[in-house]
A and B are shown apart, each in its own frame.
Chain A
C-alpha cells in the first residue's frame, strides 16, 4: 500500500494563479482532511470530508475549495492564490476512530 500520497510535492505560484492539490489514499478510509502548517503555529484544518461526495469547512477555509468525487481522492483548490497561502499543506485520512495517516506534504510558495 502506498498509504497517503500528495501531488505535487512543491509548487511556486504567482498571485492570482489557480492550482489544485491532489491527495490520494489506498486504505479505503472514510475520513480525509486538508491541513496547513505555518511556522510557530500548529496544524490548522482547512476542509475535511467524512465520505465520498461530502465536504465540510474547517478552521481556516477561506480561499480554498475542496471536492471528494471518489472515496480515495480529496482535492484542494486555490482559485486565486495569495501570498498568505504560502504554506506547507498536509493531507490525512483515517478510518472510524483510528489514528490519522498523513501524506508527505506539499510546499507551496505564492509570490
Chain B
C-alpha cells in the first residue's frame, strides 16, 4: 500500500509544452512537498505547501486538501527541466511517491 501515488510514472514532452504531474495521498498531512532529482542524483525541494497554490518561475504547485490531491505544473517546458519529480507528504512521518521521470525533448 502506497500512501503517496504519482502519475504518470514517465512523461516525455516537446520543448515548450505545458506539463502536469499529479500526486494523490491517503494519509492526513500537515504539508506536501514537491522535490526535483536530476540525473546526477541530488534532490532539491521545489515547493512545500499546505493549501492553495504556489508559483516559482515556470513552476506552479497546487493542492486540494479535501480531495487529497496535488498537481505540479511546468509552463513552457525546457530540456533542463528533465528530471525526476517526487511528491512527498508530511504526516506522522515523511511519505514519498516513487517519482515521475520527465524528459523534455528539444
Contact across chains for A43 and B96 when beta carbons are under 8 A apart: yes
How many residues of chain B have a CB within 8 Å of chain A?
22
Q: Please tell me if B52 contacts chain A, counting CB pairs below 8 Å.
A: no
- Would you give the 0/1 interface string for A40-61, flagging 1 where the beta carbon is closer than 8 Å to chain B? 1111110010000000001100
Q: Please tell me if B48 contacts chain A, counting CB pairs below 8 Å.
A: yes
Contact across chains for B30 and A100 when beta carbons are under 8 A apart: no
SS of B interface (majority): strand
Known: A104-B42, A105-B41. Is A42-B86 also a contact (CB below 8 A)?
yes
Taking CB atoms, residues of chain B closer than 8 Å to A42 are 2, 4, 86, 88, 95-99
Q: Please tell me if B44 contacts chain A, counting CB pairs below 8 Å.
A: yes
Q: Please tell me if B31 contacts chain A, counting CB pairs below 8 Å.
A: yes
Known: A42-B4, A42-B98, A58-B93. Is A99-B41 also a contact (CB below 8 A)?
no
Taking CB atoms, residues of chain A closer than 8 Å to B48 are 98-99
Q: In whole Å, how far is A31's beta carbon from the nearest beta carbon of chain B? A: 10
SS of A interface (majority): loop
Interface residues on A, range: 20 to 34
- Which residues of B are at the interface with A, using a C-beta cutoff of 8 A? 2, 4, 30-31, 33, 35, 41-45, 48, 86, 88, 90, 93-99
The 30 listed contacts between A and B (C-beta, < 8 Å) are A40-B98, A42-B2, A42-B4, A42-B86, A42-B95, A42-B96, A42-B97, A42-B99, A43-B88, A43-B94, A44-B96, A45-B93, A45-B94, A58-B93, A88-B41, A92-B43, A97-B30, A97-B31, A98-B48, A99-B45, A99-B48, A100-B45, A102-B42, A102-B44, A102-B45, A104-B42, A105-B41, A105-B42, A105-B43, A107-B41
